[in-house]
Amino acid sequence: MYRVTKALNHNALLAVKENSAKEYLLLGKGIGFGKKVAEHIEPGEDVRIYSLQSDSERGNARELVRDIDPVYLEISNTILTKAEEEFGKIDRSILFPMADHIAFAVERIRKGEQISNPLTQDIQVLFYKEYKIAELAETLLQQIEGVSIDKDEVGYIALHVHSSICDEKVSNAMQIAAAVRECIAMIEEEKGSKIDVQTLSYNRLMNHIKYMAARGMTGEELKLDMNDYIESQFPNSFRIADAVCTHLSHALRIELPEIEIGYLAMHIERVCDSEIDS
């Protein structure tokens, strides 16, 4: 049982749980309609309940929820429900910073201010499923607010979705995407040509570097050491991979075991082959 402290709109309200001093945000169709302060309610199974005790990079949940138009809380809740359907269990506390970001994005757009996201294309590849879910924001904002957001904004929302499924800060996900982009740029510079982003080998290369970074952060190690064989067969790709691994280690302040070099070199060689074939 919950005691209403404030109805935000027809579909959102703040309430304190019975026998507790903790306040929660309740989101559900019609849950706030006609509700009065101090009224007691029992939310149904379709109501999402969010604790206001959490903190994020963008502030305290209690402070954020009082400053954000509840329509953006509803939109974020819909996006997270879609993420939950796709990925299973997620961290829904990301709702507040996500809603705050969307609200700020709409404010900027209405003022004619657009921000660029140099990593949008990389985010689309590295966090493909998250990006597809984030595209729901495009539809919802157009339907509800009459506002059109671009792919750069969707990219930022995708990082929030990623944060909800990986227990990883949005800033960390951005840092990984930037580091992967730098690694790709290094490979392109060494090869002396741009890599076709439409190829499957490019997609595999980017994802390999992403998971290599993830292994470095968690301390997971690959089992089979192929360095000697790969270095003898593909010395140039191995040299490039060695330099890339060193750069990634420094950029993300992680320790990458030497065994990673051979696997990365295989992907670099595959990209080289696909470029030649095309």
pLDDT, residue 273, reads: 67
Taking the C-alpha atoms of residue 186 and residue 177, their distance in angstroms, rounded to an integer, is 14
Tokens of 236: 């140039």
Give the pLDDT score at 21. 81
State how far the Cα of 224 lies from the Cα of 226, in Å rounded to an integer. Answer: 6
pLDDT surpasses 80 at 57: no
Q: Judge whether residue 67 has pLDDT over 80.
A: yes
pLDDT at residue 35 tops 80: yes
Q: For residue 276, is pLDDT > 50?
A: no
Q: What is the pLDDT of residue 48?
A: 94
Q: Which of 230, 224, 232, 233 is nearest to 264 (CA)?
A: 230
**Which of 195, 183, 83 is CA-nearest to residue 137?**
83
Write down the pLDDT at residue 260: 96
pTM of the model: 0.85
Q: What is the CATH number of domain 1-53?
A: 2.30.24.10
Res 278: pLDDT: 46
pLDDT of residue 103: 95
**Residue 8 pLDDT:** 95
Mean pLDDT rounded to a whole number for the chain: 90
Residue 238 pLDDT grade (very low, low, confident, very high; cuts 50, 70, 90): very high
Q: Report which secondary-structure segment, H or E, holds 243.
A: helix 235-252
For 125, residues 6+ apart whose C-beta sits below 8 A from its C-beta are: 197, 202, 203, 206, 207
Residues 6+ apart with CB under 8 A from 267: 201, 204, 205, 208
3-state secondary structure of 135: coil
Report which of 26, 29, 38, 23 is spatially closest to residue 10, judged by C-alpha positions.
Answer: 29
Q: What is the arithmetic mean of pLDDT over 136-142?
A: 96
Q: List the CATH code of the domain at 194-277.
A: 1.10.1790.10
Q: Percent of the chain, pLDDT > 70?
A: 96
Residue 275 is predicted with a pLDDT of 55
Q: pLDDT per residue over 85-120, tens digit each?
A: 999 999 998 999 999 999 999 999 999 887 788 899
Q: For residue 134, is pLDDT > 80?
A: yes
**Can 1-53 and 194-277 be said to share one CATH topology?**
no
- Residue 179 structure tokens: 């580091």
Whether 166 has a pLDDT exceeding 80, the answer reads yes
CB 87 within 8 A of CB 165: yes
Cβ atoms of 209 and 248 closer than 8 Å = yes
Kindly indicate the confidence band of residue 54, based on its pLDDT and cuts at 50, 70 and 90. confident
Element (H, E) at 7: strand 2-9
* Topology given in CATH for the domain delimited by 55-168: PTS-regulatory domain, PRD (1.10.1790)
Task: Provide the percentage of residues in the chain whose pLDDT is more than 90.
Answer: 73
Task: List the chain domain ranges.
Answer: 1-53, 55-168, 194-277
- Residue 75 CB contacts under 8 Å (≥ 6 apart), including other chains: 99, 102, 137, 140, 141, 144
- With contact defined as beta carbons under 8 Å apart, do 55 and 47 qualify? no
Residues 176-217: pLDDT tens digits?
Answer: 999 999 999 999 999 888 888 878 888 899 999 999 998 998
Name 256's Cβ contacts closer than 8 Å, sequence gap at least 6: 212, 215, 216, 245, 248, 249
User: Given a cut of 50, is residue 270 above it in pLDDT?
Assistant: yes
